[in-house]
Structure 1
Amino acid sequence: MDCIKVGDIALHYRACAAANGAATVVFINSLGTDFRIWDAVIAALNTDLGIVVYDKRGHGLSALGETPYSIADLAGDLSGLLDALAISKAVICGLSVGGQVAQQLYFERPDLVSGLVLCDTAAKIGEPDFWNQRIETIARDGLGSVTDGIMERWFSRRFRTSGDPLFIVSRTMFERQPVDGYLATCGAIAGFDRRADTGAISVPTTVLVGSEDGATPPDLVRGFADAIPDSDFQIIEGAGHLPCIETPQPVAAAIGALVARVAQKEHAQ
């Protein structure tokens, strides 16, 4: 079990070094999940790629740390991890709040980022009132009180009703999420708005969204992608908010294409 102290936060991570000069891809998980959501995507990628996955603070096996959080706090954890691993110019792949952490990392530490894969995310997700209401509900009644609604936002109806055991364990992963970490991360999302900066993203970028995403709907994500110069926007048909779980193959294909695009750009320079 790999872990490291970044500031006052103990982070749980897993890393595999790149081979034959290949790129490194860094994965950032979404709200209420841990890094296992990327397992099937990673299995479908080129095995020469370097891989870093980690549980952001307050999730999985990583420490809670002091609350409240900001997205800048979460990005600082990641930059500290990458510095400790001597990794720079990586392709950063973030889902939902993970995509917001990826954006913040790019703006704060562009030396660490060669390309972005931003999944089911935006420069601003929801209004503060929405997040504050969720925080109040969960603080009062627990995560179980919102589980059904969260599953409807996360997954397509087909997946939820298929009897697939992967849905069952995904639901269990959410219900076992540390509550304090979940609530603090909700607060971080509520305070994040980089819409004024989106047009300044200049690395190769792919933006993905599931066609059945109930948390960051396709129209929201399309508008976000349109604001990023020369970004590639793709809708993954039949997937919800977590296409890395429902439809890992097209996610892996999009990451592979972005890695190739980054390599082409670097070769041309």
Structure 2
Amino acid sequence: MKIAELDGIRLHYREDGDPGGVPVVFGNSLGTDLRLWDQVLPLLPAGFRYIRYDKRGHGLSQCTKPPYPMGTLVRDAEMLIDHLERTGVIFVGLSIGGLIAQGLAAKRPELLRGIVLSNTGAKIGTREMWDERIAGVEAGGIEALADATMQRWFSETFRQTPPFLAWRNMLVRQPQDGYVGCSAAIAGTDFYTTTAAITLPALGIAGSEDGSTPPDLVRETVDLIAGSKFKLIRGAGHLPCVEKPEEYAAILSEFLHEVRG
């Protein structure tokens, strides 16, 4: 396990692949840790340096007191990339990870060579919706929202399989402060204007059964970026890298090769 000692935060991260390869940084969704990508990593091409990290308040990273501004989460990713002395990064962000990707692309485009916006939007939900969820967690813990969240995250077919329980456990075992902090970050974020100014190569990925960030939201967001591409994974929900890892890896691998040049 590796811990990056950054300015005001300790982030847990892991590196796989070719140490000298093009860096690919993965940003996870709300309520998950870097294991989100476990099934995809072995299917990705050689010649890349794959870097996963637990965002603030999740997994083995430090959990600070909520709320978190989205700018703080973007800065965490920025500091980690600088700490690892990387440039020309391809940033793969899922859900809130996709918001971080958009924020980073707007703030530090020189760090990046491309972004993947997976199951995300320039704005996700409303402040009122997120305030209600935060209140629910503060009153009854993450467990209080777990069943409704699982219905939005996964297709009905996947919810009947044994691995489903592990993902529910991952959600409810995340630090409550981290979940609340990141929920507040999503609530306060609207990137429509800044994302429309991004000029980096971009790929949008959506799941047809996604109840959190429906395909139309993902397509609308990625269409803000000139020259972007969009892919739909049928039969998958909010975490297609979990439900359809082979298809997800194939789509991602094609983009990695295109952007590497």
Please confirm whether the aligned pair reaches a TM-score higher than 0.5, indicating the same fold.
yes
Contact kept, 8 Å, 2:17 with 2:46, in 1: the verdict is: no
Q: Which residue of 1 aligns with 2:31?
A: 32
What is the CA deviation profile of residues 160-193 of structure 1, one whole-angstrom value per residue up to 9, with x for unaligned ones? 02x2x32111111001010010001000000000
Letter in 2 for 1:256: S
What is the CA deviation profile of residues 141-163 of structure 1, one whole-angstrom value per residue up to 9, with x for unaligned ones? 111111110000000001002x2
What is the CA deviation profile of residues 112-149 of structure 1, one whole-angstrom value per residue up to 9, with x for unaligned ones? 11001110001100010000000011101111111110
Contact kept, 8 Å, 1:206 with 1:254, in 2: the verdict is: no
Letter in 2 for 1:167: F
Q: Which residue of 2 aligns with 1:46?
A: 45
Contact kept, 8 Å, 1:30 with 1:96, in 2: the verdict is: yes
Matches within 5 A, 1:56-205: 56-161=55-160, 163=161, 165-205=162-202
**Deviation at 1:62?**
0.4
**Deviation at 1:16?**
3.2
Secondary structure of 1:25's counterpart equals strand
Letter in 2 for 1:27: F
**Deviation at 1:199?**
1.9
Q: Distance in 1 between matches of 2:242 and 2:9?
A: 27
Superposition TM-score, scaled by structure 2 size: 0.97
Equivalent residue pairs, number = 261
Match of 1:250 among 247, 250, 253: 247
Q: Distance in 2 between matches of 1:18 and 1:43?
A: 13
Q: CA RMSD in A?
A: 1.2
Secondary structure of 1:157's counterpart equals coil
Letter in 2 for 1:257: E
Letter in 1 for 2:107: E
Q: Which residue of 1 aligns with 2:226?
A: 229
What is the CA deviation profile of residues 67-101 of structure 1, one whole-angstrom value per residue up to 9, with x for unaligned ones? 22011101111111111111111100000000000
Unpaired segments ≥5 residues, structure 2: none
**Deviation at 1:248?**
1.1
Q: Distance in 2 between matches of 1:204 and 1:105?
A: 14
Contact kept, 8 Å, 1:23 with 1:259, in 2: the verdict is: no
Secondary structure of 1:40's counterpart equals coil
Q: Distance in 2 between matches of 1:210 and 1:112?
A: 28
Q: Which residue of 2 aligns with 1:267?
A: none
2:9 is aligned with 1:12: no
**Deviation at 1:263?**
2.6
Letter in 1 for 2:142: L
Q: Distance in 2 between matches of 1:8 and 1:15?
A: 22
Q: Which residue of 1 aligns with 2:215?
A: 218
Unpaired segments ≥5 residues, structure 1: 265-269
Secondary structure of 1:146's counterpart equals helix
